[in-house]
Homo-oligomer: A and B are copies of this chain.
Amino acid sequence: MSNTGGRRKPPTIHDVAREAGVSRGTVSRVLNGGHYVSPAAAEAVNAAIRRTGYVVNRHARSLITGRSDSVGFLLTEPQERFFEDPNFNVLLRGCTQALAAHDIPLLLMLAGTDDERRRITRYITAGHVDGVLLVSSHSGDPVAEELRAAGVPLVACGKPIGLGSKVSYVAADDRDGARDMVRHLLGLGRRRIGVVTGPLDTPGGVERLAGYREVLAEAGVEEDERLIVSGDYSRASGEAAAERLLGRAPDVDAVFVASDLMAQGVLAALQRAGRRVPEDVAVGGFDDSPAAVAASPALTTIRQPWDRISAEMVRVLLAQISGEDTAAVILPTELVRRASA
């Protein structure tokens, strides 16, 4: 396994220019859009590039342009949670591919420890990436704030809390998704509809609960605080929440659960309590994660458009990098009907 071969010195723009019989300037112009260059010259340059196998040296380019033509994908804080979330994978993959289409590499940055946080902040503010795709936790995020203050282009996934209103983000329409699900449950004839909320210090948690309330109010079903319990998106918290719910409102005939993982816990608790799903209690989840299909019965749930979210994040970030003003983007969700409701 010796490091055989070594790497030969790659051809430079000089070599291409000589080969094509033109000047560096002309080659550079062909490389960057090809304006103000004659068809003959362009053809000669392209042929020379093909022949020599020339690839632009991005370092030299970056040195003078000040751009790095790369962006960071920054995950702050509780990495476990995100890394275990299959949606995170879809997001990461989607962003990587969307960027690849623009020939922009993605740098993965994980800010776990304070040391990593410092290093990453320095790296980014030093201009080593042109912008940052941010997957942040719910709590106020010092890294993100620092980046924002430094004027680094930044797009968050999901509405960030505590970052002021100045940061662009892309998110699924949590509230509308919740509305769809609760409407669906109403459509099944259920009236004692409980809810297991997510953490209420996150926008998602708040919005999903708000959607639930709105639809019940619209339908003239009076709200009952006993039907509202909260969890933290984990399976265990869903199980505990369902037990509380059954204790406080035994006549519950449907539950809207703010995450599929929690819904798994809810199913377990209902089964233990001898309630049949969906006959006695209909259950609706949120996320359309693999957990939704793995559950038995399979979960009726709300799908978030993760592929579109990643594509939009990249689009918005690139727009921001090229100096445009960008706004938040909210994308529609979709109800996925399975057995549990």
Which of A's residues lie within 8 Å of B, judged by CB?
A: 1-7, 10, 55, 57-60, 62-63, 68, 70, 73, 79, 83-84, 86, 89-90, 92-93, 96-97, 100, 103, 105-110, 112, 116, 119, 122-123, 125-128, 149-153, 165-168, 290, 294, 320, 323-328
Contacts and interface: CB of A to CB of B under 8 A. Distances in A.
A169 to B, nearest CB: 9
A253 to B, nearest CB: 28
B3 A153 contact: yes
A64 to B, nearest CB: 9
Nearest to A235: B294
A109 B119 contact: no
B110 A107 contact: no
A84 B83 contact: no
Contacts of A152: 7
Copies in the complex: 2
B108 A324 contact: no
Contact of A10 (B6, B70, B126): B126
Contacts of A294: 294
9 contacts: A5-B151, A55-B122, A55-B125, A57-B126, A84-B86, A96-B109, A97-B112, A105-B123, A106-B107
A258 B30 CA distance: 54
Which of A1, A84, A290 has the most CB atoms of chain B within a 10 A radius of its CB? A1
A116 B89 contact: no
A109 B63 CA distance: 23
B55 A63 contact: no
A108 B106 contact: yes
Contacts of A55: 122-123, 125-126
A107 B151 CA distance: 23
A157 to B, nearest CB: 15
Contacts of A7: 127, 150-152
Given A7-B151, A110-B97, A151-B5, A84 B89 contact: yes
A1 B326 CA distance: 6
A110 B116 contact: no
A168 B3 CA distance: 10
A231 B60 CA distance: 50
Given A105-B123, A107-B106, A168 B1 contact: yes
A108 B92 contact: yes
A165 B152 CA distance: 45
A323 B1 CA distance: 11
Given A63-B63, A89-B84, A119-B100, A150 B110 contact: no
